[in-house]
Structure 1
Amino acid sequence: MLTAAEDGDAAAVEKALDDGAGTGARDDRGRTPLLLAALGDHVEAARALVKAGADPDAQDDQDDSAWLVTGVTGSVRMARVLIPAEPDYTLTNRYGGTSLIPAGEHGHVAYVREVLRKTDMEVDHVNRLGWTALLEAVILGDGGRDHQQVVALLLEHGADPELADKEGVTPLEHAEQRGFDRVAALLRDAE
């Protein structure tokens, strides 16, 4: 089951399920078949696992889950498969962040749009670093078009442009320090 999910072999996943394999198997890193499928963006394998009742919130030894890794991969197709499984949108990764935070960091525009439209995920969740998705999009982003769009989406959905990091530095101050003029303009307009 684990190998089939990791390889994205949906037919082999379905056969393993038909033969009585459970969805809760774990590899030596604590990853479930659904997490392995999500990591590889193997949508059909994941679909079969979700249909069989796989847990989208089962976390591995690094606190990753199938749902949480969608924020890293930015896979809208995988998110759409997992949303009907009702993942816990408050579940956090090893940094204390929800899936929206790494999506902001990586500039996953389509994913951020989908999650903000289809879930009730808290847009201003603060991770252990003291950063929100908005702060990560500014601090760890490149200021380019994708990160500009992510910042705009987060602001449109209620992200607080004045919510500062642990040192009291606001997203606007970070954008100005990095020379991200367009991002800074978006943040100024939102204040």
Structure 2
Amino acid sequence: MKRLLIFLMLWLPLGMAEAAGPDEQLMMAARDGREALAKSAIAQGANVNAVNPQGRSALMLAAYYGNEKVVKLLLAEGADPTLKDSQGGTALIGASQQYNLEVIRALISHGADVNAAGKNGMTPLRAAELNGNDEVMKLLGEAGAEGGGKKSAKKKKKG
């Protein structure tokens, strides 16, 4: 029984990816960091700017989960780093909650708005601050990010 459960847990995500359309495959690939599946989905006609029911694009998912190779692939294929989800969140806000400087650099170099704010006022700089990501805060500040809380304001005065 245990082997059957393990088999199903490993096989179902693969089977689901095969049964899904290209856009859904791309979303799964972005979330899970599966570059080969992302390439396959794009080759099959996936829209790199398609969104899920929450309004999140594949780029937003890949950025949030720190899937650097998929982020770079999506950007190279024309994914829009300025898209906002239903709450006004962006790929850069999601990436700034994590600690992946290369994902953040890639988004910024492709035109992500370092000052974009969600409906709740969350910005990339504030997201980094809330998660204690000093290096991310520094990178965002160097890219022109403004605002944030007390900690980021203190950092700016020192530098």
Give TM-score scaled by structure 1 length: 0.64
* Conserved? CA contact 1:134–1:154, under 8 Å: no
Flag structure 1 segments of 5+ consecutive residues without an equivalent. 126-132, 138-149, 158-191
**Alignment partner, residue 72 of structure 2:** 47
Identical counterparts, % of pairs: 25
Which segments of 5 or more consecutive residues in structure 2 lack a partner in the other structure? 1-25
The answer for the alignment partner of 2:149 in structure 1 is 134
AA matched with 1:121: A
Q: State the Cα distance separating 1:75 from its structure 2 match.
A: 2.4
Q: Once structures 1 and 2 are overlaid, which stretch shifts more, 32-41 or 81-90?
A: 81-90
Whole-Å separation in 2 of the counterparts to 1:85 and 1:152: 29
* Corresponding residue SS for 2:45: coil
* Greater helix share, structure number: 2
Distance 1:151 1:24 in 2: 34
Q: Residue 156 of structure 1: which of 147, 151, 158 is its match?
A: 158
Deviation at 1:152, TM superposition (A): 5.2
Q: Cα–Cα, structure 1 residues 74 and 154, in superposed 2: closer, same or farther, change >3 Å?
A: farther
2:49 equivalent to 1:24: yes
Give the aligned partner of residue 175 of structure 1: none
Alignment check: 8 A CA contact 2:65 2:95 kept: no
Structure 1 residue 80 and structure 2 residue 82: aligned? no
Q: What do residues 82-129 of structure 1 show as CA deviations (whole Å, max 9, x unaligned)?
A: 111111223101222321012122210111122222x1222xx3xxxx
Give the Cα separation in 2 of the matches to 1:64 and 1:73.
14
**Equivalent residue in structure 2 for 1:121, among 145, 148, 156:** 145
Structure 1 partner of 2:60:
35
- Inter-partner Cα distance in structure 1 for 2:86 and 2:42: 24
Conservation of the 8 A alpha-carbon contact between 2:108 and 2:114: no
Q: Which digits, 9 at most, give the CA deviation of each residue in 1:18-54, with x for residues without a partner?
A: 2221111111211100001011111101110011111
Matched, 1:65 2:86: no
What is the match of residue 89 of structure 1?
114
Counterpart position of 2:34:
9
Q: Contact between 1:56 and 1:87, CA under 8 Å: does it hold in 2?
A: yes
Cα separation, 1, equivalents of 2:117 and 2:88: 8
Flag the 1:156–1:53 CA change in 2: closer, same or farther, 3 A.
farther
After TM superposition, where is structure 1 displaced by more than 2 Å over at least 4 residues in a row? Answer: 150-157
Cα separation, 2, equivalents of 1:71 and 1:84: 15
Distance 1:28 1:77 in 2: 28
